[in-house]
Structure 1
Amino acid sequence: MFERFTAEARQTVTGAQAEARALRHRQIGTEHVLLALAGAEDATGRALREHGLGPDDLRARIVRSYRSGGDVLDSDALRSIGIDLDAVREATEQSFGEGALDAPAGKADRSRQGRVPFTPMAKKALELSLRHAIRLGHKEIRSGHLLLGVLHDGGFPSVRLIIEAGVDVEELRAEVRRLLTSKAA
Structure 2
Amino acid sequence: MTSLMKVGELAKQTKLSIRTLHYYDEIGLLSPSHRNEIGHRLYSDQDIIRLQQIMSLRQLGFSLKEVHECLESPDFSLPNVINLHRARLQEQVTLSHALLDRLNAIATDLETTQSVAVENLIEVMEAITMSEQYFTPEQQAVLEERFRQEETDWTDLLSKAQTEMSKGTDLNSHAVRSLAKQWLWSMKSLIGGDAKIYESMMRMYQQAGPEAASWGTMDSATFDYILKAVSFLFLAEHTNLRIDTAKIFTPETEQVIRLGKDAIRQIKFGVFGTEGMLLGLLAEGTSPAAKVLTAAGGSFETARQSILQILSDTASSEGNHVDSQAPQQPAEQGMSEPTELPFAPRAKLVIELALEQAQQFGQSHIAPEHLLLAILQEGGGVATHVLRERFGLDLAHLEQQLRSVMSR
**TM-score between both structures, scaled by the size of structure 2:** 0.35
Matched, 1:17 2:245: no
Deviation at 1:7, TM superposition (A): 1.0
Alignment pair present for 1:103 and 2:338: no
Aligned partner of 2:279 in structure 1 is: 35
1:61 and 2:306 aligned: yes
- 2:405 maps to 179
Which of residues 291, 297, 317 is equivalent to 1:46? 291
Deviations 1:6-52 (A, max 9, x none): 11111011112111111101000101101110122222111111111
Aligned to 2:367: 142
Q: 1:168 maps to which residue?
A: 394
Separation (CA, whole Å) in 2 of partners of 1:134 and 1:102:
37
Cα deviation digits, residues 84-123 of structure 1 (max 9, x gap): xxxxxxxxxxxxxxxxx833698x31xx242110100011
Q: Shift of residue 151 of structure 1?
A: 1.4
- Provide, for residues 132-185 of structure 1, a one-character-per-residue CA deviation record: whole Å limited to 9, x for no partner: 111222233111001111112221111111111201101111111122223xxx
Instruction: Tell me the residue number matched to 1:76.
Output: none
**Residue in 2 aligned with 1:122?**
347
Give the number of the structure whose alpha-carbon radius of gyration is greater: 2
> Contact 2:252/2:367 (CA < 8 Å) preserved in 1?
yes
Of the two structures, which has the highest relative contact order with CA contacts closer than 8 Å and spacing of 6 or more? Answer: 1
Secondary structure of the structure 2 residue equivalent to 1:10: helix
- Report 1:84-99 matches (<5 A): none
In structure 2, stretches of 5+ residues that fail to align are 1-243, 318-328
1:39 is paired with a residue of what secondary structure?
helix
| Unaligned segments of structure 1, at least 5 residues | 74-100
Higher helix share: 2
The DSSP-based 3-state class of the residue aligned with 1:152 is helix
- Equivalent position amino acid for 1:10 in 2: E
After TM superposition, the score normalised by the length of structure 1 is 0.75
Task: Identify if the C-alpha distance between structure 1 residues 113 and 66 changes in structure 2 by more than 3 Å, giving closer, same or farther.
Answer: closer
How many residue pairs match? The answer is 151
Secondary structure of 2:380's aligned partner: coil
RMSD, matched Cα: 2.0
Q: Structure 2: which amino acid aligns with 1:175?
A: Q
1:144 touches 1:179 (CA, 8 Å); kept in 2?
A: no
Does the CA contact (< 8 Å) of 1:34 and 1:158 recur in 2? yes
Question: What's 2:161 paired with?
Answer: none
Mapped contact 1:20–1:32 kept (Cα < 8 A): yes
Contact residue 270 and residue 330 of structure 2 kept, 8 A: no
**Aligned equivalents of 2:248 and 2:332: distance in 1?**
37
Distance 1:59 1:105, change over 3 A: closer
Separation of aligned partners in 2, 1:71 and 1:114: 20
Identical residues among aligned pairs (%): 26
Distance in 2 of aligned mates of 1:72 and 1:5: 33
